[in-house]
Chains A and B, each alone.
Chain A
Amino acid sequence: MLLTIYDFTRLTTAIHTWLTSKMGDTLVMLSEMVMVGLCTLTFFVVLCLILVYMERKVSAFMQIRMGPNRVGPWGTVQAIADTVKLLLKEGLTPDGADKLLFNFAPILVVAICFAAMAPIAFGKGLAIWDINIGVLYISAISSVGVIGILMAGWSSNNKYSLLGAMRSGAQIVSYELSIGMAVLSIVVLSGSLKLSDIIMAQESGWWIFRGHIPAIIAFIIFIIASTAEINRAPFDMAEAESELTAGFHAEYSGMKFAMFFLAEYVNMFIVCAIGATLFFGGWMPFHIGGLVAFNNVMDFIPSPIWFFGKTFGLIFLIMWFRWTFPRLRIDQLLTLEWKFLLPISMINLLLVTLIAIMGWYF
């Protein structure tokens, strides 16, 4: 039995009842929408600041140096200072660029990020939008993100941008297949696409432990493919500094560049949150089937702490990759996906179904 002390549905229901007692139905809906919108926006901005700071500190830690340490205590205000600087910069649009698409690309990229974040469950009963096709919806929305990158690269009128965008397009679409297969293997085990159902299915243990080796293979494929999907090193072909200046956003400056930057970090959060939800139970505390007392002790840690702990653990892993592996060439990258990850993930999915049929998961 899960404890209910940290259930956010009680909070949301309380707010809803209070609002309903004050005003009409339409107004209630509207005000709730505004509240949710403001919360997401705040969360989005705070998340980016934290991730940028974390990236710089983790890089510093990997390279045995200090990292940002001047602005604020331990450099914590550095990210805010950077944001203010970017806000005060001039947003250039080059002469040769296609003005409309050039300015529309950042909007599209950020809008897709926002939309993809909607179904994620941050804690028990704490999700903006618990839709019954959650996982499928996220893969659908994020598959459109590549259009924003191609748009940015093409409209810039810069050879390097276009090259970066084409590479990144080929890379993102290829790795989407493996992500799809890895996600499907968990869908087979859970029997639902709804994120809350997938989390509840892990009440007696996370899938990565219960699913035996195929689940671990699926997780490894997922983490490799999602690193590629969000254009992070060692798969950062789109913005390989040493060969393409800054790839698809080379021509962007000021706030427009900041939007791409922001979207990149939020995307990193999204894939890690999905990974944490599918393989590590999302907000589900660490449970071992049968050990009731142990499970009850674990339940005393609030669910958002579990969720953010797992997600930031995965984010740390992806940041770790960046300083561990050298960058791949575009042909190596596509070979890795098409000749290794794709067939492995296809066979792995069938292995997972075999496990499910035999009832080998415990």
Chain B
Amino acid sequence: MATANPIDYLPIIIQFIVAIGFVIFGMIGSHLLGPKKHSKVKDDSFECGIEAQGNARLPFNVKYFLTAILFVLFDVEVIFMYPWAVNFRDNLGNGTWFWEMILFVVFLMLGFLYIIKKGALDWD
């Protein structure tokens, strides 16, 4: 059996500390070095250069939401494949190992075909 320990994850904490330290250092350094002049017009949002109209937080097309929800489903599917793929080489002689995943993928493909048929992914 493969073994591992939680202590293996220590280096990642260092990476995060270094990264956050670096960005904060850069931003504070730039804040101290750069000019600080404020004015009404300068602090307006830039948008596309001309005067901004209305508030920016507008509701969105529902297609984005549908894309995200379908992504969640397919992402879980991809996740399920990882433990299967890692063990694949050890189970080359094991015939069912392949068919198990085929069955799983066939069901997903049925769902996928349904999505395509219904035109859920068409942007009109």
What residues of chain A have their CB less than 8 Å away from a CB belonging to chain B?
33, 36-37, 40-41, 44, 86-97, 103, 106-107, 110-111, 113-115, 117-118, 128-129, 131-132, 136, 154, 156-162, 166, 169-170, 173-174, 176-177, 180-181, 184, 187-193, 245, 250-251, 254-256, 258-259, 330-331, 334-335, 338-339, 342-343, 346, 349-350, 353-354, 356-357, 359
Contacts and interface: CB of A to CB of B under 8 A. Distances in A.
Contact of B67 (A36, A114, A334): A334
A306 B105 CA distance: 37
Contacts of B92: 356-357, 359
B25 to A, nearest CB: 10
Nearest to B54: A159
Given A111-B16, A132-B4, A346-B109, A94 B121 contact: no
Given A106-B23, A118-B11, A159 B47 contact: yes
A245 B46 contact: yes
Nearest to A191: B89
Q: How would you classify the secondary structure of chain B's contact residues: helix, strand, loop or mixed?
A: helix
B19 to A, nearest CB: 4
Place the interface of chain B in its size category: 35 or more
9 contacts: A114-B22, A131-B8, A157-B57, A161-B56, A174-B67, A187-B86, A245-B48, A338-B121, A346-B108
B66 to A, nearest CB: 10
B30 A91 contact: yes
A113 B15 CA distance: 10
Given A36-B14, A169-B64, A339-B116, A159 B58 contact: yes
B24 A107 contact: yes
Given A96-B45, A159-B56, A353-B88, A37 B82 contact: no
Given A132-B4, A250-B46, A343-B109, 16 more contacts: A37-B17, A87-B29, A90-B36, A97-B45, A114-B16, A157-B56, A158-B46, A158-B52, A174-B67, A180-B75, A180-B78, A191-B89, A254-B30, A338-B70, A342-B74, A346-B108
Interface string B28-47: 01110111110000111111
